[in-house]
Amino acid sequence: MAARKIRTIEELGEFGLIDHLTSGFKLQQNSTRLGVGDDAAVIDHGTFYQVVTTDLLLEGIHFDLVYTPLKHLGYKAVVVNLSDVYAMNAAPRQVTVSLGISGKFSVEALEELYEGVRLACERYRVDLVGGDTSASVTGLVISVTAIGTVRKEEVAFRSGAKRHQLICVSGDLGAAYMGLKILEREKQLHARDPEFQPDLKGYDLVLERFLKPEARVDVLLALKESGIVPGAMIDVSDGLSSDLLHICKASRCGCQIYDDRIPVAEETRKVAEEFNMEPLVAALHGGEDYELLFTVPLSDFDKVSAIPGVHILGNMTEEKEGARLVTGDGRAILLQAQGWNAFGKRE
């Protein structure tokens, strides 16, 4: 008998691993409208849908306490989960926060963390309704679950995109990744010279985008006021390329976007130049922007164009046409996912 090949998790990647581990699970409850495979699970409550999502943040993987203030971390931990709720076109209502705590943390340090949690709950009008705590031997572990509600006719799945629909994104992209690059650079310089004092002046935009992101509830409100119900929607957490491909896969469509339509802030461009990096690379693959990427019918072109801060990147196409990035000289390049991979090799 041939020896069974042992596969590494890295071979499958984060989403391949999730698909592999959950593919044999059949839904048992009629109330489960959608399980694994979107920004949140969807549960039928009769007159409305309830959405539930959870995120796990690990010290050394998702955050570095050398340059991440605990208050900012608590705020961000809640906001990134609320962003998943908003990506279902839903309104968040409650969160739970669970912690794994190592012995290096004082009560005062945890108070700082929870001050950030409290500020996020107040800002987005959600209730902290529970959680759990445990000892940890590997540093700080944070798990947040967010619960929201949405009218059935307004829920936005990743699978809702249709051919010819417009592809839109809120805000600008790549800033969070460049903020991370700045912080990592200053950390390395300090490690070489303990007397070195980081100089972060002029980097306010990119640092805030990374350390203290905001969920784009304002964009959802603008869409509602304009009478637009997105076909498909996702938040840009893993990078524009990766998240757009999630929509394509779930909707069984292709896509065509144009590189000169991808929004990048001027400060992001300047920081990218410091690192001899093409700004478009940060925008396509950086991740952690938490902007909303969504599709709308072609008939909504005028309405969506009138919403401040929303950019039309291109359109959905036939699945057989694949996912394409069209350059300024008219070349169509295959769009590939090069964003965040939870199980990829670390630099």
Q: How confident is the prediction along the chain (347 residues), in pLDDT tens digits per residue?
A: 555 666 665 666 555 665 666 566 666 557 666 656 556 788 887 889 999 999 999 999 899 999 999 999 999 999 999 999 999 999 999 999 999 999 899 999 999 999 999 999 999 999 999 999 999 988 999 999 999 999 999 999 999 999 999 999 999 999 999 999 999 999 998 888 887 888 888 899 999 999 999 999 999 999 999 999 999 999 999 999 999 999 999 999 999 999 999 999 999 999 999 999 999 999 999 999 999 999 999 999 999 999 999 999 999 999 999 999 999 888 899 998 775 444 444 44
Residue 135 falls within a domain, yes or no? yes
Helix axis angle, 266-274 relative to 204-211, nearest 10°? 90
Q: What is the CB neighbour count within 10 angstroms for residue 99?
A: 20
For residues 181 and 269, membership in a common domain is answered with yes
Check whether residue 183 and residue 301 sit in a common domain: yes
- Are residues 143 and 167 both part of a single domain? no
Nearest to 73 by CA among 104, 128, 130, 111: 111
**How many whole angstroms separate alpha carbon 82 and alpha carbon 235?**
10
Phi-psi region of 231 (alpha: psi -120 to 50; beta: other; left: phi over 0): alpha
pLDDT at 1: 52
- Do 239 and 135 lie in one domain? The reply is no
* CA separation for the pair 149, 313 (Å, rounded): 29
**CB neighbours of 321 closer than 8 A, spacing ≥ 6?**
254, 256
> Up-side HSE of residue 277: CA atoms within 13 Å toward CB?
21
Q: Are residues 229 and 132 in the same domain?
A: no
Q: Let me know if residue 26 belongs to a domain.
A: no
What is the token pair recorded at 130?
A: 């529970």
Read off the tokens for 194: 């303990």
Q: How do beta strands 127-135 and 166-170 pair?
A: unpaired
189 occurs within a structural domain: yes
Query: Which own/partner pairs from 14-19 qualify as long-range (CB within 8 Å, at least 24 positions apart)?
Result: 14/341, 14/342, 14/343, 15/246, 17/343
Q: Quick one: pLDDT at residue 2?
A: 56
Q: Are residues 128 and 47 in the same domain?
A: yes
- Rounded distance between C-alpha atoms, residue 70 and residue 107, angstroms: 12
Can you read off the two tokens belonging to residue 115? 């001050």
Q: Please name the helix (run of DSSP H) or strand (run of DSSP E) that holds residue 333, with its range, or none.
A: strand 332-334
Looking up residue 81, the CATH number of its domain turns out to be 3.30.1330.10
Q: Note whether residue 24 is domain-resident.
A: no
Of 115, 136, 154, which residue is a domain's last? 154
pTM above 0.85, yes or no: yes
The answer on 283 and 270 residing in a single domain is yes
163 and 50 within one domain: no
Whether residues 330 and 243 fall in one domain: yes
Residue 79, φ and ψ in degrees, nearest 5: -60, -40
Which helix (DSSP H) or strand (DSSP E) does residue 132 occupy? strand 127-135
At 340 the pLDDT is 45
| Pair (196, 307) in one structural domain | yes
Last residue of a domain, one of 154, 188, 212: 154
Task: Let me know if residue 271 belongs to a domain.
Answer: yes
Token pair, residue 51, equals 């959405």
pLDDT of residue 337: 77
Pair 166, 126 in one domain? no
Burial profile 148-170: b = 16 or more Cβ within 10 angstroms, e = fewer: bbbeeebbbbbbbbeeebbbbbb
Domain of residue 48, residue span: 31-154
- CA–CA distance from 149 to each of 89, 104, 146 (Å)? 9, 38, 10
Q: Is residue 94 part of a domain?
A: yes
Residue 22 lies in a domain: no
- 282: CATH: 3.90.650.10
Name the helix (H) or strand (E) containing 129. Answer: strand 127-135
Same domain, 135 and 247: no
Cβ atoms within 10 A of the Cβ of 339, count? 20
Strand-strand pairing, 310-317 and 233-235: unpaired
d(C-alpha 47, C-alpha 49), whole Å: 7
Among 102, 128, 154, the domain boundary falls at 154
pLDDT of residue 152: 93
Query: Residue 8: inside a domain, yes or no?
Result: no
Whole-angstrom Cα distance, residue 202 to residue 266? 12
Rounded CA separation 212/80 (Å): 10
Report how many domains make up the chain: 2
Q: What is the pLDDT of residue 304?
A: 97
